[in-house]
Each structure stands twice: as structure tokens, then as C-alpha cells.
């Protein structure tokens, strides 16, 4: 009989945020698949867990995924951990979840911390709808397209970034979204040097140019303002072309464009069809 994959959320920094349920699961798991085995072992030692540990991350060989599937097929209880927060959010956990279901294993979420929702909750920006983009591509057309996505987004955007690339990201966002677009940078959430800094993109870029950031960074960007006057049809066409190039269907592209530029679905679909 196939085993069980537990998707276990772990603390962002403060170990007190680990749930009792998560600790109980780790104590009885046969195997922990962890993004960073050193961090995982510290957490396991904290709760007195003695299970086996193996690495599983974005650079893992396909054979590691095969190994984990074999363990599940043989009835093992496997716990999936990321470095911090909830697994399968901006890491390769989704592949393991899919494999687990494919071999008949149970997949059980053990909910808890997430940098995305934690940052949103203290940002002061609307969080009833939001777009999570993870880490943006570092260069090229893909980065340009994602920056366009941020600039046109009709709701708050959440981005992960490495501390040493934060200034470049803020500078690029200011150029694409406008320097006055409101934003929030959260850093080292739940840790000793936690920082939550609000401002506009230009101000934040200057601040972190002068105060080099460290640690884990999450950036939130205010939604684009709704257009009250006639839309910029050239901008609408550029956005539609970008979405089509990303592989969206004509219907989905028209829906996105209609929402972002306050044009009718009929007008948007006609424009997309012409493209």
C-alpha cells in the first residue's frame, strides 16, 4: 500500500512558529526530503526527530525524484520541507506532489508560515487579490515581460528577490512602473533583524543603495491605477502581444487586457484577434 507525503510548512526564522502538528509529523516520518539538509537537521534536532534526511531541491538529479517515489510506493511516510515557509511555493515541490499522487500515495498538507501571506498581512496594500511572481528572470526578454506584468497588474504583486539584487530590482521597477508607485520591502521576517519598509519605488531604491540589505527579501508593489480616461491603445496592443507571446489563448489574453485597461471584453477580443 502506498505511503504518505506530508507537505510541511516550517518557520521563516522564529522556531516558535513551528506548529505542534508539524513537529508531531516530523517525529514519526520515515524520511525527510529537504531543500537544505543542514537547516532541516537543525529543525529536526529542535523537535527531537530521528528520521532519515535526503536533499531535494531545484538542482537535484531526476534519480532523487525517482528514489522518493519508490519510498512512497513502498509505504514510507515522507515529509517535504523547504528552507523556510511552505513547500512547493517557488521551489520544485510540485513535481514530488504530482509523483506522489500518481503512485497512489496520500498527500497531506501541514499548513503554517509563508513569506507571501506574512508580507501581505503587514504591507498595508490590498490583499484580497494579489499576483505572486516568485523570483523574476535575471535578464533578457523574460525579465522585461515580467516587469511589464508588474507595471500593468490590477492588484498587488509579490516578488521574491536575493538581497544582493534588490537595488537593481527596485530600479528596474521604478523605470517600468514609475518612480512614485507605492511598494513595501520586507526583510528577515520573524527574525531578530526583521525590517518592513514602506515608500515608493524610487525612495526604496535609494535607501537600499545606501543601506546594503541582507537576508531573505520579499517585495510588494502597489497595483496599477485604474484608467479613467480613454485607454492608450498602443499600450494595450503591446500588453496583448506580450501575453500572446507568453502562450495565453486569445480569450484569456482579451480577459486580462480588458481588466487591466478598463476596456470592454468585445473591444479587447477584437484587438487580440487583429494581432
Q: Domain for residue 228, yes or no?
A: no
Number of domains, the chain? 3
Which of 78, 113, 148 lies at the terminal end of a domain, its last residue?
113
pLDDT attached to residue 142: 93
Contact at 8 Å (CB) between 236 and 263?
Answer: yes
pLDDT attached to residue 204: 98
pLDDT attached to residue 228: 55
pLDDT attached to residue 229: 62
pLDDT attached to residue 256: 85
Does residue 263 share a domain with residue 217?
Answer: no
Q: Domain for residue 206, yes or no?
A: yes
Number of C-beta neighbours around residue 192 at 10 A: 7
* CATH number of the domain where residue 9 is located: 3.40.1010.10
Does residue 214 share a domain with residue 154?
Answer: yes
pLDDT attached to residue 46: 95
User: Which whole-number Å values give the CA distances from 36 to 73, 80, 172, 200, 265, in the listed order?
Assistant: 24, 11, 31, 35, 47
pLDDT attached to residue 265: 81
Tell me the C-alpha distance between 219 and 197, whole Å. Answer: 10
Does residue 144 share a domain with residue 104?
Answer: no
- Give residue 187's domain range: 116-221
Q: Domain for residue 227, yes or no?
A: no
Contact at 8 Å (CB) between 183 and 231?
Answer: no
State the pTM of this model: 0.81
Q: Domain for residue 141, yes or no?
A: yes
pLDDT attached to residue 227: 57
Residue 170: which residues within 8 A CB-CB, separation 6 or more?
Answer: 183, 185, 201, 204, 205, 208, 219
Does residue 213 share a domain with residue 185?
Answer: yes
Does residue 203 share a domain with residue 129?
Answer: yes
Which of 183, 200, 221 lies at the terminal end of a domain, its last residue?
221
Mean pLDDT by 10 residues, the chain (275 residues): 95 96 98 96 96 95 96 98 93 93 97 97 96 94 93 95 97 95 97 96 97 96 78 86 90 85 84 90
* CATH number of the domain where residue 147 is located: 3.30.950.10
Does residue 135 share a domain with residue 124?
Answer: yes
Does residue 268 share a domain with residue 247?
Answer: yes
Per the DSSP assignment, residues forming a β-bridge with 125 are none
Q: Domain for residue 226, yes or no?
A: no
Amino acid at each position: 500500500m502506498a505511503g504518505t507525503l506530508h507537505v510541511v510548512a516550517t518557520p521563516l526564522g522564529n522556531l516558535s512558529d513551528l506548529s505542534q502538528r508539524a513537529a508531531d509529523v516530523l517525529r514519526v516520518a520515515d524520511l525527510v526530503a529537504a531543500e537544505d539538509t543542514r537547516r532541516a537537521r537543525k529543525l529536526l534536532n529542535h523537535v527531537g526527530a530521528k528520521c532519515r534526511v535526503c536533499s531535494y531541491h531545484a538542482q537535484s538529479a531526476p534519480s532523487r525524484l525517482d528514489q522518493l517515489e519508490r519510498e512512497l510506493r513502498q509505504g514510507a511516510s515522507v515529509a517535504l520541507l523547504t528552507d523556510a515557509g511552505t513547500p512547493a511555493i517557488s521551489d520544485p515541490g510540485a513535481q514530488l506532489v504530482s509523483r506522489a499522487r500518481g503512485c497512489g500515495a496520500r498527500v497531506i498538507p501541514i499548513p503554517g508560515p509563508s513569506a507571501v501571506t506574512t508580507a501581505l498581512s503587514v504591507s498595508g496594500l490590498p490583499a484580497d487579490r494579489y499576483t505572486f511572481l516568485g523570483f523574476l528572470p535575471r535578464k533578457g526578454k523574460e525579465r522585461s515581460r515580467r516587469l511589464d506584468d508588474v507595471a500593468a497588474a490590477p492588484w498587488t504583486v509579490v516578488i521574491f528577490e536575493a538581497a544582493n539584487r534588490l537595488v537593481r530590482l527596485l530600479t528596474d521597477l521604478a523605470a517600468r512602473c514609475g518612480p512614485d508607485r507605492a511598494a513595501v520591502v520586507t526583510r528577515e521576517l520573524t527574525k531578530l533583524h526583521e525590517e518592513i519598509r514602506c515608500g515608493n519605488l524610487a525612495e526604496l531604491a535609494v535607501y537600499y543603495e545606501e543601506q546594503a540589505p541582507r537576508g531573505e527579501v520579499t517585495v510588494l508593489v502597489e497595483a496599477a491605477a485604474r484608467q479613467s480616461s480613454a485607454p492608450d491603445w498602443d499600450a494595450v496592443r503591446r500588453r496583448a502581444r506580450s501575453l500572446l507571446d507568453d502562450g495565453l489563448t486569445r480569450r484569456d489574453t482579451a480577459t486580462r487586457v480588458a481588466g487591466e485597461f478598463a476596456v470592454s471584453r468585445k473591444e479587447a477580443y477584437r484587438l487580440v484577434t487583429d494581432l
